[in-house]
Each structure stands twice: as structure tokens, then as C-alpha cells.
A and B are shown apart, each in its own frame.
Chain A
Amino acid sequence: MSSDKYILGISAFYHDAAAAIIKNGEIIAAAQEERFTRVKHDPRFPVNAINYCLEEAFIEADDLEAVVFYDHPLLTWDRIVKNCAMIGEESYPTFNSALKSVLGIKLWVEEYTTKAIGTLGKTGKIIFAGHHMSHAASSFYPSPFEEAAILSLDGVGEWSTTTLGYGKGSDIKVLKEINYPHSLGLLYSAFTYYCGFKVNSGEYKLMGLAPYGKPTYVKEIYDHLIDVKADGSFRLNTDYFGYLKGDKTTNAKFHELFKGEPRKPESKITRKEMDLAASIQVVTEEIMIKIARHIRELTGSKNLCLSGGVALNCVANGKLEAQKIFDNIWIQPAAGDAGGALGAAFVALHLYFKESRAPRTGNKDSQHGTYLGPAFSEAEIGAFLDRHEYPYTKFESDADQHTLLAKELDSGKILGFFSGRMEFGPRSLGGRSIIGDARKTDMQSKMNLKIKYRESFRPFAPAVLAEDVSAYFKLDTESPYMLLVAPVKENLRTNVNSEEQLKENNDDMLGVINQARSTIPAVTHVDFSARIQTVHLDTNKRFYELLTAFKALTGSGVLVNTSFNVRGEPIVCTPKDAYQCFMRTEIDILVLENFVLFKPLQPKIDNDENWKQQYELD
């Protein structure tokens, strides 16, 4: 009998359901359910992701040592009950809805698990890991650090919204916390909603909007909405928020403070939204930096592990990195609730089973580049293409393939790039990416309008050879997970002054979006910042070699990298998903491992005109 300890972690029922499996502390697989069901942010019990994890681990469900859920439904219920009891009659609709949801569905994780895989593992019962402990574990255990300060920041998990901890070896201790309703995540979400974006997914847009604005509302925020102590701890003034009483994050008093009703989704973005975005971004950064200073002092550690939805704010992360409060920062790439599945598995291994953590050696994490999802073999891809008679060129030599693709990129072609295992987490990192030449002045608008089908104010992210990052950006550390924002170097910038133009154009944001602000304009934001991905040979050889070939041909080691999907669609998972996205958009070339497909040679897809209705706008 094998003594290997396989543990399955699950997150579900809220948003971005996911599963992860570890074997003796090594991450074997992890994936979000949405990638399989093709429903964005799918919250349902992740049957498909679980089955994939079991297949990847090459085990039967009976071989599982334990199944772990990343949240404690009864503790969440405790919060809801006490919230509603305090509020009284006004909260009845919330109570009714929450009772059905928490006691009617979420409490029964064991039944969902048994129905899905026929077992609860050898422990015979579900282990419930604490929500913030799952986040903390997801950032500490895979990190390169033997010991580290651990900070988790999100909307809310059970009661906690902010957790300060310390990890050493196999152990994690929670040191301090801030509890509901006082939440940096909920504060940011309130502005997300008020500015007309979707809560839980639109935060990224608000962050991207911030550089267009001026932080003119910072004083109002500090004066009315949040009180922050010197150690970074904070309390909200709940008079201004709607979430204690109903399903909206803001209320009339909030709207009165900012002089108007929330912006209607998809309506014109005005100067007000830009300034609000800039203001809440500044406040978020200032608080994160204060908390970071405090936890540094509290733990004495020179290493920081970061997780929770707020840790996806890569602009704030970049500011934190630049402060050099810590020598090293590691951020879980699936920092949101999906990553809780991975963390929960680690909680069971190290805290419940008390298994030792392998000593850390070198500076590499054990996240495997977060390429933890399904891969497809040459035989599988070939069979798919042959079955449908899709014309392709198959390369026996990687070098020949990269040389050809580099030439195509240099000529302005856009590639759908499908390579190796799918990414775990919200970012595409060269496993399932759309890529183009960052030097082309029309690349941003072309990708936005003809491929992503959006007119976005958000720039695309650069993928850069790890060893070249400091040549292009003011960043002296790795950013393999696209979680750090840093400025483009001055010597690469043009004389375009977007700030002046924004003033002149008042709120005509679109007028400045597509201007060439640097020699890599497609990835340079209005404030000259860039959301950087460093590409590494040891985690994505094919992408690294393509970048190398492109650099050899053009002298530029930077490519645009955006997620392989259209707006509202989950990132592609299979060759079929990739082919469908390729054919529905103006992507020029599809790369499926060593197969290359050219658009003009492909047969037309019949009866596919209404495909956009499949996807709800994000």
C-alpha cells in the first residue's frame, strides 16, 4: 500500500469554485471549475475540477487521505445571524435568502462531495479549514520562504477581513485580525459598484481606471468612510455602506457624499469615476503599506506572503514592493477564493496531519509557475484537428516554429498561444494567452476591438524575459505571476504627456488611450506603468523560447500578453475552446503546442453568429 498522502482541497458555492490536489506537500494539480463548464466565475460545486485533479494525480478517490473545504459555513452563518439580529426588520430579506443558501446548500458539503466522488477520503469526514487560514496557507506553504510574515486581505471570510500571521516551517499562527464589517476589500468593492462595475470582478477595472484620475476624493474617504490608525488597522463608518442591510455595497448616504447615484454599467465613464478610482486606489495603497510596516515590526521577518482578493491589486503590490519594507514578497497567484482550495489542502497536511514541510532551498517557490491545469498531448491535439479536418502545419523542430512565429509577430500578426498546462488563477501567463508585438502602436486597439470585443481603458500586460526585466521596467525582482506593476523606464518613454491631454480633454479618456507613450506602447499605461510578467525557462519553455526568438529577430524582448478569451468568457481550457475563440475573433494564427493554424486556411464555422449572447458582460 502506498504511503503517499493525497489531499483534495475544495472551494465552492460563492464564486470561482475550484479544486486542488497535493501529494505529500507537492502541488499536483489545481483548476477553477469555470474553465470546464465555460460559465464565468462558476460558483457550483467543482465536480469537473475535482475529477480533473484526481486524473492528474492518477489516483482513485478512495486513495484520498482527506477532503478539505476552505471555509466554515456555520461560522459564516454566525456572522449573518448576528448581523441580522443587530439590524432587525430591515435585514429580513437578507436573512431569508442567506438561510436558504447557507443552511440549505453550503452546510452540506459532505453530501455534495460524496455524490461527486463517492467518498470523503480516509478521514471519513470533511475537514473545514478556516477561510483566512486557507488564504494564508496558500501563500506561505508554496512560497520560497522557510519563515515569513503572512498577510491576508479580502472582502470577508467567515468573520475575518484582514489577518496578520506568521509562518515558520510547517506551522502558521494567526496573530491579529480585523473583523467584519470593517473590510478593505468591501470598501474597494463599494467604489467598484458605485463606479458602475461588477463587484467581485470589476475591481480590476477600477484599478486600471485609477491612473486616468486625480485622487481628489482622498480627504472625503478618510474624513467620512474609514478611520486608519498608525499601525494600519482600520474601521469603516458603516453608516455609509449598504451591505449590512441588503444586497448593495453602498447606500443613500454614500451617494450623497459623492453627490450622485452610482454610474450605470456600460454608460460613459466620466472624470468623477476616474477621480474616485484614483482616490480609493491611493487609500488602499496607503493602508496596505501601513499594515505591511506593522507586520514587519510584529514578526521581525524580512519575508512577506500575501493573499486574499485584495492581493490581486497589482498596483498596490507594486507600491509595496517599491517601499522595500520586506526583502522578499511572494503573492499567491490564485489569491482570491479559488486559491483557497489549494490553501485548504495544505492546512490539512501541515496543521491537521502535522506532516513536516520540506525545507526550502534556493529562492524558487513550489507553485510550478502556477501551470497546474490540464495539458494536451501532441496526439490529442493532432486527433482533434484531424477529426475536424482543420488545416495545420506541424513543426518537428521547436526552433523552426519559434523562428516562423517571431516573424509573424514582427509583421503585426496576433497569436492565440496554447502551451503546456493551463494556468491556475485569474491571469494568463503563456499557457493560454493571446500575444502580439508590444512595439506596434495599433496593437492595443486592435486587440481590444477585434479580439476582446471591448473598448477598454485598460492596457495589456507585457511578458518579458526574466533576465531582461530591468532593461525595460523599474523593477529589480521577478514577477512571474503578473502581480506587480512597475514603471516603464524613462529612456523608453516618448514625449507624450497624457496628463496634460487628460486635462485638456476633461473626461475624454478614449482620446488618450491609444497614444504611443513608449517604445512598447501596447503595454504602457497612461501613467507609464506596466503590469509585468517575467517569463522563465524552467516554468514555460515554449513561451520563453518564443520570446527569445522574437528578441533575436527584433531586438525587443517584450510581447503583449492577454488572456485567451473574449469578454465574459472563461479563459480557454481545451484545444476545442481555443479553436472556437480563434475562429470567432480576428486572431491571425493559432498555436496549439507544435501545431500552427493560419486563419485564412480554416473552414468557416456555420451557424455561429449568435455566439456573443453566450457570455454575460463582465
Chain B
Amino acid sequence: MKTGNSNMNSTNQVDDRIRKVFDAMTQEVKSGKTYFPLHADASLSSYYEKPQHEAYAYFSFIDTKDREHLLTSFNELWKANQELKPVASAMCDLAFDLREIQGEQSTDLSPFVYTLY
């Protein structure tokens, strides 16, 4: 794993690639697609759900040996989400490239820390 400062060019290139992935993702996901409810539902007697991700709830593995193995993990994750599979490959590429250019870990907490990233 490399550490140190990433240069401006590589940062811009990464941002361009992230933008492309985002655009492709939002195109693939048809407008109005919902993955989770946003509001109350008076017709329900309970909001509890059965465990939604049982394959990961207890313990599991992520194979990051190479790009192909990671892509398999993505495809497994999204086997019920065909609309996301087209962007998985670009995300794997970004993951491997970002691993190379990420700098030292920061001691600062992410502003998004309350939603765990």
C-alpha cells in the first residue's frame, strides 16, 4: 500500500471517473426507483422486517485478491439488483486504483461519520 500525497492530476482524474460512475449509476437506476421507504405507512401494523441481508448478518468474507475476485463479491452483493451490476466493474477498478493513491489515514472524523463512512 502506498502512502503519501496524491497529486492534483490523479485527484482530478479520479474525480472524473467517480463522476462517470455516478452518472452511469443514476442512469441505470430508473428515476423514481426506491430501495427503502421514506415515510410512515398507516397500513402496516409493524415496521419490523425479517433480516434483509442474512448472508452478511453473521459473518462473511470479501475476496480482494484481484479485480476479478472483487467483482464477484460485487455481483454476489447485487444479484437481486441487476440495474447496479453495470457499474460494479468501474467501481472495482476505482477501488484498486484508489488503494494505490490514498494518502495517510486522517485523524479527523468524517463529517459523514454518523452514517458510518
Contact = CB atoms under 8 A, between A and B. Distances in A.
Interface stretch (A81-89, A266-274, A449-457): A81-89
Contacts, number: 225
A231 interface: yes
Interface in A31-56: 37, 39, 41-45
A249 B15 contact: no
> What is the predominant secondary structure among interface residues of chain B facing chain A?
loop
A141 to B, nearest CB: 14
A41 B113 CA distance: 11
A74 interface: yes
A155 B53 contact: no
A72 interface: yes
A71 B53 CA distance: 13
Interface string B7-41: 00000001100110110011001010111111111
Contacts of B99: 104, 107-108, 111
A175 B31 CA distance: 33
Contacts of A199: 113-114
Interface stretch (A157-165, A429-437, A559-567): A157-165
B39 A132 contact: no
Given A15-B113, A177-B49, A96 B15 contact: yes
Interface residues of B, number: 65
B91 A44 contact: no
B1 to A, nearest CB: 5
Interface in A11-47: 13-15, 37, 39, 41-45
Contacts of A176: 48-51
B29 A43 contact: no
B36 A180 contact: yes
A130 B56 contact: yes
A130 B59 contact: yes
A233 B46 contact: yes
Contact of B36 (A88, A129, A133, A179): A179
A355 interface: no
A81 B25 CA distance: 8
Contact of A128 (B59, B91, B98, B113): B59
A235 B84 contact: no
A239 B39 contact: yes
B62 A103 contact: no
A105 interface: yes
Contact of A41 (B22, B109, B116): B109
Given A86-B33, A180-B36, A75 B56 contact: yes
B91 A174 contact: no
Interface in A90-118: 92, 94-108, 110-112, 115
Interface of B: 1, 14-15, 18-19, 21-22, 25-26, 29, 31, 33-41, 44-54, 56-64, 73-74, 77-78, 81, 84, 91, 94-95, 98-99, 101-102, 105-107, 109-117
